[in-house]
């Protein structure tokens, strides 16, 4: 139970973080175990390559091993290593389970997993079995059981994992988290979030191709829309909100209901771009165009998550953070804080607030994070993975977060299949949420 004792000690040292987010936490007092890390990468598609490029911009990372079943992606990854004056990596490419040979190496400190969603949990579980702390990309879970398997593997192997939810590190989100912790919104009552992103030309690419005929995410992502009806991608919205509501850290998600609209977007896209006679025009896409999931928290807050990826629309993660003193909405980037906003009942532009409450991490690293992808936030999520790993300190987004954020997917599928029925959300911490304290982004290290 070493890890859990460490964790408790760490948490005790940082109990004040909720109230005073700007105070550096105790992480620096942990012995720095390693100054350079050897990281393996499983999956060097578009996302995995992004991680690779961000990692090798750092001086403390070596990439001795990469894994992908697509030789073209391996080539691109090797070229990137070479261009950055890194040694070429050993390659694991021989079939779906080649990654296990990568995990069997004895020179790795950690592994980044950026593969199709169905592989996430099996690979993370295998990594923990191999005592290799994984940094796992985001997505929904396939089943409730695999979330339990993930947690139980962590507990039995004492190997930590981090969910690489980059939106937790978005600059506006971190500023709002700061404002939440400083009490600007009063007691938080209600949050909204989601993934609202027109992915039609990603689910079909090139043209209306997908599956074995498609490229990039179209190879695997589109199939989910054929097989599943639920919020299949909940964490970009839920993750940031969960941190603001201290989920797993004094609070927890208790129940949800989910409703799906009809599914029209993908079919119409096929007809528009492939014609009515295209063979894909007969596919009965199962995934409703707009999925609405409403969640209840143990401390009485409610959350609405939206999944909306198949209709023409501007990108928005739809954030709203509302408390007894005011609220912020990402749509229009509007804010109202009673007693601070000059006009009662009138929105203000939020940017001056976001600037004023800019998180210390962004103050410190904004130059370094430039160009790191997705507005810089990809730097921060990897930085947290790397710095925690170097210190053998707990990851700020851990296995319990991964399990409960991602279990939303199978639970929302079940709710929708039952017409919108109420679903209990498992407590993967088995009661420990009550004593765990906020430990996400408490200082200016990571």
Residues at the site binding its own copies, with contacts judged by CB under 8 A: 186-187, 189-190, 198, 255-257, 259-262, 264-265, 268, 288-290, 292, 294-296, 299-302, 304, 308, 311-315, 322-327, 329, 331-332, 334, 336, 338, 345-347, 418-422
Nearer to its own copies, 186 or 274 (CB): 186
In angstroms, give the least distance from the CB of 307 to its own copies: 11
The closest alpha carbon to 202, from 240, 233, 161, belongs to 233
Q: How far is the CB of 2 from its own copies (least distance, A)?
A: 38
Q: How far is the CB of 136 from its own copies (least distance, A)?
A: 28
Task: Please state the closest distance from residue 336 (CB atom) to its own copies, in A.
Answer: 5
Tokens of 115: 């593969």
Q: CA angle at residue 209 from 205 to 215, to 5 degrees?
A: 50
Place of tokens 């997705």: 374
- Rounded Cα distance, 278 and 407, in Å: 35
Nearer to its own copies, 115 or 296 (CB): 296
Q: Which is nearer to its own copies, 209 or 261 (CB)?
A: 261
Complex with its own copies: residue 67 or 416, whichever CB lies closer = 416
CA–CA distance, 72 with 67 (Å, rounded to integer) = 12
CB closer to its own copies out of 13 and 283: 283
φ and ψ at 287, to 5 degrees?
Answer: -70, 115
DSSP bridge partners of 260: 291
Beta carbon of residue 190, minimum distance to its own copies (angstroms, whole number): 4
Cα–chain center distance at 365: 20
The H or E element that residue 355 is part of is helix 351-356
Decide whether 120 or 200 has the Cβ nearer to its own copies. Answer: 200
Nearest-approach distance from CB 340 to its own copies, in angstroms: 10
Nearest approach in angstroms of CB 310 to its own copies is 9
Cα–Cα dist 288/225, whole Å: 8
- Give the span between the Cα atoms of 194 and 4, in whole angstroms: 32
Contact 32, 389 (CB under 8 A): no
Toward its own copies, which CB reaches closer, 59 or 262?
Answer: 262
Closest to 331 in 3D by CA, of 139, 170, 172: 172
How far is 57 from 69, CA to CA, in rounded Å? Answer: 25
Q: Which is nearer to its own copies, 54 or 257 (CB)?
A: 257
Distance between the two ends of the chain, CA-based, in angstroms? 25
E strand or H helix at 254? strand 253-260
Distance of closest approach, residue 102 Cβ to its own copies, in angstroms: 37
- DSSP three-state, residue 146: helix
């Amino acid at each position: 139970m070493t890890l859990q004792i460490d964790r408790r000690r760490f948490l005790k040292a940082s109990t004040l973080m909720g109230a005073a987010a700007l105070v550096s936490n105790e992480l620096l007092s942990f012995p720095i175990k390693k100054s350079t890390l050897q990281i393996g990468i499983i999956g060097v598609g578009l996302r995995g390559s992004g991680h690779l490029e961000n990692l090798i911009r750092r001086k403390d990372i070596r990439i001795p091993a990469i894994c992908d079943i697509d030789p073209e992606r391996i080539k691109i990854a090797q070229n990137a290593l070479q261009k950055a004056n890194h040694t070429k990596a050993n390659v694991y490419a021989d079939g779906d389970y080649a990654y296990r040979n990568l995990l069997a190496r004895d020179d790795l400190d950690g592994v980044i997993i950026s593969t199709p969603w169905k592989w996430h949990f099996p690979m993370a579980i295998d990594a923990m079995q191999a005592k290799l702390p994984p940094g796992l990309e985001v997505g929904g879970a396939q089943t409730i059981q695999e979330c339990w398997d993930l947690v139980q593997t962590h507990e039995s192997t004492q190997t930590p994992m981090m969910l690489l939810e980059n939106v937790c590190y978005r600059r506006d989100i971190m500023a709002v988290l700061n404002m939440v912790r400083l009490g600007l919104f009063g007691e938080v009552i209600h949050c909204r979030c989601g993934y609202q992103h027109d992915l039609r030309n990603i689910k079909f690419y090139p043209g209306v191709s997908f599956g074995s005929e498609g490229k990039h995410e179209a190879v695997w992502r589109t199939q989910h829309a054929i097989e599943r009806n639920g919020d299949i991608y909940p964490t970009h919205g839920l993750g940031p909100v969960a941190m603001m509501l201290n989920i797993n850290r004094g609070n927890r998600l208790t129940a949800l209901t989910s409703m799906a609209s009809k599914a029209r977007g993908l079919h119409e896209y096929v007809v528009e771009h492939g014609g009515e006679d295209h063979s894909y025009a007969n596919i009965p896409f199962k995934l409703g165009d707009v999925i609405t999931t409403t969640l209840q928290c143990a401390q009485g807050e409610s959350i609405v998550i939206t999944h909306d990826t198949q209709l023409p629309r501007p990108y928005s993660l739809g954030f709203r953070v509302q408390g007894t003193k005011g609220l912020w909405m990402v749509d229009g980037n509007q804010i109202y804080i009673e007693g601070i906003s000059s006009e009662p009942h009138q929105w203000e532009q939020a940017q001056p607030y976001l600037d004023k409450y800019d998180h210390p991490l962004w103050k410190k690293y904004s130059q370094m994070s430039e160009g790191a992808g997705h507005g810089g936030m990809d730097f921060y999520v990897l930085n947290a993975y790397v710095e925690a790993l170097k210190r053998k300190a707990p990851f700020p987004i851990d296995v319990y977060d991964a399990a409960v954020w991602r279990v939303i997917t199978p639970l929302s599928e079940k709710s929708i299949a039952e017409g919108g029925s109420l679903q209990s959300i498992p407590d993967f911490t088995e009661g420990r949420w009550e004593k765990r304290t906020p430990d996400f982004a408490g200082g200016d290290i990571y």
